[in-house]
Structure 1
C-alpha cells in the first residue's frame, strides 16, 4: 500500500480552535473544547470559573490519567464515568497524561484564557 502517512481516525476528528492540539482560547462556563485523542481526554467542559481558578471536566479516552503542575490547589478526581475533573489556577502549565500542556493564562471574572499544546 502506498500513499499518505496518516491513518484514518477511528472516530470523528475533533473540531474547534483546539482540534489540532495547540490553541489559545477564551472560555466561559459551559464551553467545551475538543482536543486530539492522543492527549487522552475527550472534550473538556468548563464547569466553573472563580476568582483564582478554572474547573474543568473531561471523559478519559485512554486507560489511565495523570496530571502534574496545576497550581492553586489543582487536582483530579474520578467521577465514575471514566472521566476526571481538574481545577487549575493561573500560573505554570499543567502536564496532563504526559501528552498535553494546559495553562490558565488569565482569569477575568466570567471568562478565562487557556493555552493548550503538546507537553514537552
Structure 2
C-alpha cells in the first residue's frame, strides 16, 4: 500500500511594490497597478483613467462586500477574472475603503497622478 501525497497548497503571493506594506505615496498613470495588503480587503488597484482632477481605478474585492466613503464608486465590475469595485476619486480629502485603508489623490499632473495609501488610524 503506497501513501498518496496531496499537493501542498501554494501560498498566496505577497504584495510587492512601494505600497505593499500598506503605506506609500506613488505616482501612477493609466495601466499602473498598486499592490496593497490583503488586510485592506482589496487586491491590486489598477488605474484605468487619469484626467481633470480625477483618477479612476478598479480592484478585486476580497470577501463578501466592501465599503467606500469619500469617493464615488461601487457597482460590481470584473477585475482580474473575479468580482471587483470601480472607484473614481478626486483630488482632496482621503477616501476610506473597507474601514481599513485611506486613499488620497494628492494631485493630478496631466496623465499622471500622485496617490497616497495609508492604514486607517
Question: How high is the TM-score relative to the length of structure 1?
Answer: 0.86
Paired residue secondary structure (2:39): helix
Paired residue secondary structure (1:12): coil
Computing the radius of gyration from Cα coordinates, the structure with the larger value is: 2
Alpha-carbon separation, structure 1, partners of 2:27 and 2:109: 10
**Partner residue in 2 for 1:20:** 21
Structure 2: which 5+ residue stretches go unaligned?
A: 1-10
Aligned residue pair count? 108
* Structure 1 residue 105 displacement after superposition: 0.3
* Structure 1 residue 50 displacement after superposition: 1.1
Paired residue secondary structure (2:47): strand
Question: How high is the TM-score relative to the length of structure 2?
Answer: 0.86
* Structure 1 residue 64 displacement after superposition: 0.9
CA root-mean-square deviation: 1.0
**Partner residue in 1 for 2:95:** 94
- 1:63-99 per-position Cα deviation (integer Å, ceiling 9, x unaligned): 21000012xxx22221153100000000100000000
Larger proportion of strand? 2
Asked whether the 8 Å contact 2:96–2:102 carries over to 1, the reply is yes
Asked whether the 8 Å contact 2:106–2:114 carries over to 1, the reply is yes
Structure 1: which 5+ residue stretches go unaligned?
A: 1-9
Alpha-carbon separation, structure 1, partners of 2:55 and 2:108: 8
Asked whether the 8 Å contact 1:76–1:87 carries over to 2, the reply is no
4+ aligned runs moved over 2 Å, structure 1: none
Paired residue secondary structure (2:42): coil
